[in-house]
Amino acid sequence: GDRGPEKEIPFAKPGSLTRVFAVASGKGGVGKSSVTVNLAAAMTAGGLKVGIVDADIYGHSVPRMLGTDERPTKVEDMIMPPVAHDIKVISVGMFKPPGNNHPVVWRGPMLDRALHQFLADVFWGDLDVLLMDLPPGTGDIAISVAQRMPTAEILVVTTPQQAAAEVAERAGSIAFQTHQQIAGVIENMAWLPCPHCDERIPVFGEGGGQTVADGLTRLLGTNVPLLGQIPLDLRLREGSDNGKPLVLTDPDSPAATELRQIANTL
Ligand code: ADP
């Protein structure tokens, strides 16, 4: 039926002061959501007003990583997002019936409508930064984001493995078709600090982040920087499981220090 004119997305209006980052990866499990949440926490700790749209339909792990199981509430025609660690968050997972742990099977047009609702119907207030956790790969949602939020800058997360780097580069190359900017590449799980000496153990290989940055620089013809290399840290994983981002619980640990530095350079 006729839904009437669509509500405007505040972040897409000319002159919007909110910077929008879409966090992308080639495949799942590289730490895209952990990076999103910890960057958001670092920015919030630095005094910025930050929101997260968890658009990862397969993972939607952001609420758990922030320690909230709250659901959004409706006030008139707006959706009020839960707030955790001072971060406003909205997630596809919040719109599933309680107790339903089945995977969400959404087609492109439905995803696009959900994305529009997350951006236009949610009461975000005046945000300095909006981070969008995209599903892994080069799916429909990346195209929707590009169409609805052409000013969104892309952050590509990869592990150091060359095979992972190839798929990450493919995810980043969407920006070439959509004329979006790439803010940079983040290499996660870059190494494991040896518990007994100063050595860095390259558990997942080496060089993937730089490979992706170089490849995208060539493709786009503008410099795409490698923004940082985040080491493996058991406490980062524990923090994600417990809803307490490492950046807040142990800001001076090597992984959190690197995440805070990346947040500062953005
Ligand atoms: P993605 O969003 O790419 O699927 P996640 O952020 O869910 O990946 O991370 C996958 C798993 O790896 C999670 O259990 C997370 O806690 C863990 N993890 C991510 N980055 C690190 C890291 N630097 N050190 C240790 N564990 C990490």
Could you tell me the sign of the dihedral formed by the alpha carbons of 60, 230, 20, 147, in that order? negative
Evaluate: CB of 38 within 6 angstroms of ligand 1: no
Task: Judge whether residue 36 has pLDDT over 60.
Answer: yes
Task: Judge whether residue 2 has pLDDT over 60.
Answer: no
Mean pLDDT value of segment 90-97: 83
Single out the residue of 243, 255, 20 nearest to residue 150, CA to CA.
20
Distance from C-alpha of 8 to C-alpha of 30, rounded to nearest angstrom: 33
The rounded Å distance from CA 30 to ligand 1 centre is: 6
- Domain membership of residue 10 (yes or no) is no
The token pair that represents 224 in the structure block: 């795409």
- Domain membership of residue 6 (yes or no) is no
- Domain membership of residue 97 (yes or no) is yes
The rounded Å distance from CA 61 to ligand 1 centre is: 10
Total-model pTM: 0.95
The binding site comprises 26-33
- Domain membership of residue 121 (yes or no) is yes
Phi-psi region of 77 (alpha: psi -120 to 50; beta: other; left: phi over 0): alpha
Unique residue bearing structure tokens 């005094």: 47
Unique residue bearing structure tokens 């795409």: 224
Distance from C-alpha of 101 to C-alpha of 42, rounded to nearest angstrom: 30
Is the ipTM above a cut-off of 0.95?
yes
- As for how many domains the chain has, the answer is 1
CATH of the domain at 261: 3.40.50.300
The rounded Å distance from CA 74 to ligand 1 centre is: 32
The token pair that represents 111 in the structure block: 């995803």
- Domain membership of residue 2 (yes or no) is no
- Domain membership of residue 188 (yes or no) is yes
CB 121 within 8 A of CB 77: yes
The binding site for ATP comprises 26-33
Confidence of residue 1 (pLDDT cuts 50, 70, 90): very low
- Domain membership of residue 1 (yes or no) is no
Task: Judge whether residue 132 has pLDDT over 70.
Answer: yes
Confidence of residue 234 (pLDDT cuts 50, 70, 90): very high
CB 72 within 8 A of CB 81: yes
Evaluate: CB of 230 within 6 angstroms of ligand 1: yes
* DSSP-assigned letters across all residues of 148-217: H-TTPEEEEEE-S-HHHHHHHHHHHHHHHHHT--EEEEEEES--EE-SSSS-EE-TT-S-HHHHHHHHHH
Domain of residue 206 covers: 18-265
Single out the residue of 92, 82, 70, 154 nearest to residue 124, CA to CA.
82
pLDDT of residue 96: 73
- Domain membership of residue 163 (yes or no) is yes
